[in-house]
Amino acid sequence: MQYGFGKLILFGEHFVVYGLPGIASAIDLYTRARIFPAERGIEATDALVGRHIIFGEKKGDLLDRALGIILGETGLKEKNFRLEIDGNIPTFGGLGSSACLVVAITRELNEYFSLGLNDERINEIAFKTEHVFHATPSGIDNTVSTFRGLVWFEKNMQGGKNTVELLKAKKPLLVVIGNTKISRDTGTVVKEVRGRKEKEPKKFEKIFAEAKELAFEARKALVDGNDEKVGELANKNHKLLQQIGVSSKELDQLCEIALQNGALGAKLTGAGKGGCMFAICRDKKQQEKIKHEFEKQDFEGYITKVGV
Ligand code: PMV
């Protein structure tokens, strides 16, 4: 039994696609993969999305395509087994559920068939497979899902090795994740941003410069354990994401609820246009309160901590 962990992009989503820095942290929401012996062929059931496939029979199915890449990379296409997937991560929520899925499957295959893959290789396979779910993944999701911890990430735009640094936060940051329960497709949102950027290059140039500076400030604030500053920067980052058109009425509403209840800062996380946001809290009591306020408005709330 192996796990892939979810992530929160704390700073820099969308900007990372263009080589700017991003900061993400693993969280304790996960996908779990288990392999059982089977007489013939490969079957997979994903309880998180209610999907069952017989490998190779449903061309175009996302799970089938993802498995095809992982099995191709690991040379296991001819094996017989049954794969069961479950977990507690909301899917299509901006918490990196697709990366969790591919990391969990690859890790489980690695263990079950004693492949001896190291984390570098698991991350590489996960990145290749992420292309099934979104066309131009930056690589940040699979990196955090594989290595966990707090990660500074810069995509290498020349196709070389990405910059991945494990950061050490002074203390964990208490957060509440708010889920709009509105599903969206990361690839589509990324494409829409590209379209806007091409139409308004000057505006985007300015926003990108601010996003870059903000990421460096946020890195320092996280490492120093300056929660107030992290909160302030999260609010600023949310504004930049609004400017590139990826927030939504519901995401803004969740941020507003959190701030009205004393959160240090709040921003959307992941692709936006639905999915999730997070709020930075002073203490456990405030986490509970904000979660409760989210639920009162029919959203979902998850209490977690990041940076550990
Ligand atoms: O929606 P998620 O959690 O898969 O996050 C996507 C993050 C983006 O920066 C929007 C895209 C990417 O590939 O980095």
Is residue 93 in contact with ligand 1, taking CB distance under 6 Å?
A: no
Secondary structure percentages of the chain, helix, strand, coil, to 5 = 45, 25, 30
The reported pLDDT for the residue numbered 245 is 98
Site to substitute for ligand 1 among 103, 136, 138, 267, most atoms within 8 A of C-beta = 138
What is the rounded (10 degree) CA torsion for 74, 66, 93, 303? -30
Measured by CA distance, the residue closest to atom 5 of ligand 1 is 270
Closest atom, ligand 1, to C-alpha of 94: 3
Is residue 270 in contact with ligand 1, taking CB distance under 6 Å?
A: yes
Radius of gyration of the chain measured on its C-alpha atoms: 19
Is residue 154 in contact with ligand 1, taking CB distance under 6 Å?
A: no
Is residue 138 in contact with ligand 1, taking CB distance under 6 Å?
A: yes
Q: Is 141 a catalytic residue?
A: yes
Per-10-residue mean pLDDT, the chain, length 308: 95 96 94 97 95 92 95 96 95 85 97 97 95 84 92 93 92 95 88 97 98 98 96 98 98 98 97 95 98 97 90
The reported pLDDT for the residue numbered 183 is 87
Is residue 141 in contact with ligand 1, taking CB distance under 6 Å?
A: yes
Residue type at 199 in one-letter notation: K
Is residue 186 in contact with ligand 1, taking CB distance under 6 Å?
A: yes
Contact predicate 104/132, CB 8 Å:
no
Is residue 143 in contact with ligand 1, taking CB distance under 6 Å?
A: no
Residue type at 63 in one-letter notation: L
Residue 127 burial (CB count, 10 A): 20
Residue 248 DSSP symbol: -
**Rounded distance from Cα 106 to ligand 1 centre (Å):** 20
Catalytic hit among 141, 227, 283, 298: 141
Closest atom, ligand 1, to C-alpha of 96: 3
**Which pTM was predicted?**
0.87
Residue 282 DSSP symbol: S
Closest atom, ligand 1, to C-alpha of 99: 4
Residue 90 DSSP symbol: P
Measured by CA distance, the residue closest to atom 14 of ligand 1 is 138
Question: Tokens in use for 238?
Answer: 């949310």
The reported pLDDT for the residue numbered 133 is 85
User: How is 31-70 classified by DSSP, letter by letter?
Assistant: EEEEEEE-SSSEEEEETTTTEEEETTTSTT-HHHHHHHHH
Contacts of 206 (CB under 8 A, 6+ apart): none
Closest atom, ligand 1, to C-alpha of 270: 5
Contact predicate 23/61, CB 8 Å:
no
